[in-house]
Amino acid sequence: MNCNRENLIEIAAGEQAAPEMLAHLRECSDCAQEVDSMRKTMALLDEWEAPEPSPYFFTRLQAHVREEQTKAPERASIFAWLRKPALALSLALMLVVGGVTYKILLPQIAPPDTGAAADLESLDRNADLLVNADNDLIDEMTGGPSDDVAEP
């Protein structure tokens, strides 16, 4: 059976219900039991009375509020200084100056354009350096120039 439990609270509260909903309640024992449970709960809540606060409740509450207000400056958050316009404006100005400085100095800091030709030239220079260093080390260890590698 297709139960529509959205309107059950309204029926339990005593509001007018659609005739098809009332017919459904007569046929569906689960929905009827749910409405009965809701009515019992509402009756119980109507009988319950909230206890009256102590006569000194508001006096103590006001004292605690004043105490917390005096503690508030001590426990200021990290970003509380952002609420002050002068500090926020100086921070914004520093960010703008830093960004402009970065943009101006970026071309001087950036490495030169390295294309494929520049990479190959760098590899050739490094290879020549390594070969010459190996030959020098061999010469130092053997005490003379090596015979198998011709020097340029």
Dump pLDDT digits (tens) for 6-63. Answer: 777 777 877 777 788 888 888 888 888 888 898 898 888 888 888 888 889 999 999 9
Whether 28 is in a domain gets the answer: yes
- Residue in 130, 126, 146 with CA at minimum distance from that of residue 138: 146
Whether 110 is in a domain gets the answer: no
**CB-CB contact of 49 with 55 (8 Å):** no
pLDDT band at 95 (very low <50, low <70, confident <90, very high): very high
Q: Which domain holds residue 12?
A: 5-47
Whether 41 is in a domain gets the answer: yes
In the chain, how many domains are there?
1
User: Measured over all CA atoms, what is the biggest interatomic distance in the chain, rounded to whole angstroms?
Assistant: 115
**CB-CB contact of 108 with 122 (8 Å):** no
Whether 19 is in a domain gets the answer: yes
What is the tens place of the pLDDT at every residue in 134-146?
777 777 777 766 5
Whether 34 is in a domain gets the answer: yes
Helix axes 19-27, 29-47, angle to 10 degrees: 100
Whether 84 is in a domain gets the answer: no
Distance between CA atoms of residues 152 and 148, nearest Å: 13
Whether 114 is in a domain gets the answer: no
Whether 18 is in a domain gets the answer: yes
